[in-house]
């Protein structure tokens, strides 16, 4: 199967990519550059360059091609501006929900060709098809489960989504990273939202 893997430079997506490669799939990694436009970089530092360095290291080790897809404008228009407006109104937004539905499984779908049967990521979630309908299912790791952040995915998006680490707990993913000797195996989990500085 031909699979596009969203590779963030973190341990979870690196293990997802390695598992798919091990299973014999034809894998291409994609790093989405969604952080601030360069002219907005004065608002705060974001480690996207370091993330990309790790993503490249993983791809070199696994011999998987890597493409960088710039989506800063789409990210600003669909996620950042919404978040800022919500905060101004005194509400607490959840930008991750919109980043997943509108960018990672939205705009990105439009940037790649239809030859990719599935789009894989390092989310802790599962997709199950029952009677021609796709259901988002929780991960066995109740602390790391990310189904809440994927709740806005449509049937079309879920039909192509693949979550290779969805059946694992975080401790098992860390062990797999060590087994694969991935450059990301000791990286800490990312926290927070870079664009807010």
By DSSP bridging, strand 126-130 and strand 133-137 are antiparallel
Which residues make Cβ contacts (< 8 Å) with residue 161, sequence separation at least 6? Answer: 105, 118, 119, 120, 121, 127, 150, 153
Catalytic residue among 84, 112, 185, 194: 194
Can 194 be counted among the known catalytic residues?
yes
Catalytic-labelled residue, pool 58, 99, 103, 125: 99
User: What gap in Å lies between CA 33 and CA 8, rounded to an integer?
Assistant: 9
Distance (Å, whole) CA 84 – CA 151: 21
Distance between start and end Cα atoms, the chain: 39
Annotated catalytic residue 99:
yes
- The answer to whether the beta carbons of residues 149 and 94 sit under 8 Å apart is yes
Tell me the angle at which helices 48-62 and 11-22 cross, rounded to the nearest 10 degrees. 20
Pairing of strands 126-130, 161-162: unpaired
For the annotated catalytic residues, the residue numbers are 99, 194
């Amino acid at each position: 199967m031909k699979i596009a893997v969203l590779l963030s430079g973190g341990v979870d997506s690196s293990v997802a990519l390695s598992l798919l490669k091990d299973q014999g799939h034809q894998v291409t990694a994609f790093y989405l550059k969604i952080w601030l436009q360069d002219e907005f970089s004065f608002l705060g530092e974001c480690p996207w360059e370091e993330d990309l360095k790790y993503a490249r290291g993983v791809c070199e080790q696994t011999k998987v091609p890597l493409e960088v897809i710039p989506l800063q404008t789409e990210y600003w228009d669909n996620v950042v501006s919404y978040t800022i407006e919500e905060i101004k109104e005194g509400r607490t937004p959840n930008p991750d929900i919109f980043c997943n539905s509108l960018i990672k499984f939205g705009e990105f779908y439009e940037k790649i060709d239809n030859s990719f049967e599935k789009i894989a990521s390092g989310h802790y979630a599962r997709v199950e098809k029952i009677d021609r309908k796709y259901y988002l299912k929780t991960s066995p790791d109740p602390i790391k489960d990310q189904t809440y952040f994927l709740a806005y995915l449509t049937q079309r998006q879920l039909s192509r989504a693949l979550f290779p680490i969805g059946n694992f707990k975080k401790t098992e993913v860390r062990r797999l990273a060590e087994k694969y000797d991935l450059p990301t195996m000791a990286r800490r989990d990312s926290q927070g939202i870079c664009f807010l500085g």
